[in-house]
Amino acid sequence: MKNKKVIVLSLGGSMINGSAGFNLDFLKNFRAFILKQIKKGYCFIIVCGGGRVCREYQGAAKMVGINKDIDLDWIGIFTTHFNANFMRILFGKLAQEEIIKKETDKIKWTKPLLFSGGWKPGHSTDYDAVILAKKYGAKIVVNLSNIEYVYDKDPNKFADAQKIENINWQEFRKIVGTKWVPGANLPFDPIASREAQKNKLKVAVINGKNLIELEKLISGEGKIVGTIIS
């Protein structure tokens, strides 16, 4: 998609299908939002995570004795493929007919929307989003999940956790560590963070339910509710 404004979205699986089931309000609002942005000339690469469905399958596998990280990762990857195809179908003819399943896939991108799932064990779909941003010349990856900010520690465990509005990669990587664990619930995975820092890429973490913040980020108008990592 040459001469087009490309934005890469890392869409958390929890936004598609959360703890209470399908997030129908989000799906409707997200679809309307993307259609509006396409009319403005934007194109999107949307990398879908596995979310709750991924963790449920991985949990079941562990209960019957499957504990190898590589096996659990493959389970997670296949759930992302299902989610990516589900989202692709919601956009009909505006979406490329096939999703990206691995880094070496050669897809002639001709439509406004290109969807991807996970690629290989050892990282999350955040990493795939970073690599696609580099490949297609996007300047920012937007991580849409169920949190508004990155915190200096887990706010569910520590009452004194502090929200972060801006942070550099060196400091952020101290928070998320260096090792990827299948099914880990992190604001941006350690392997993806390493690649983003290496490629001097900016990442925004935004609550997917607040699409007005995503619009502000895209348009460059106003301060967003969210975290910028650069």
Number of residues in the chain? 230
Q: What percent of the chain has pLDDT over 90?
A: 68
Q: Give the burial class of 223: count Cβ atoms within 10 A of its Cβ; 0-12 exposed, 13-18 middle, 19 or more buried.
A: exposed
| C-beta atoms surrounding 28 within 10 Å | 11
Cα first-last separation, the chain: 25
Better-scored residue on pLDDT, 52 or 81: 81
Q: H or E segment at 194? A: helix 190-198
Q: pLDDT tens across 102-124, in order?
A: 888 888 899 999 999 999 888 88
Position 66 pLDDT exceeds 70:
yes
Q: How far is the C-alpha of 4 from the C-alpha of 141, rounded, in Å? A: 16
The structure tokens listed for 194 are 């390493």
Report the chain's C-alpha Rg in angstroms: 17
Q: In 64-168, which ranges are continuous DSSP H helix?
A: 69-90, 125-136
| pTM recorded for the entire structure | 0.92
CA atoms within 13 A on the CB side of 11: 31
Domain annotation for the chain: domains and CATH numbers = 5-229 (3.40.1160.10)
Least confident of 34-43, 152-161, 165-174: 152-161
d(CA 107, CA 112): 13
Q: Which range (153-162, 177-186, 188-197, 211-220) has the least confidence?
A: 177-186
122 and 102 in contact (C-beta within 8 Å)?
no
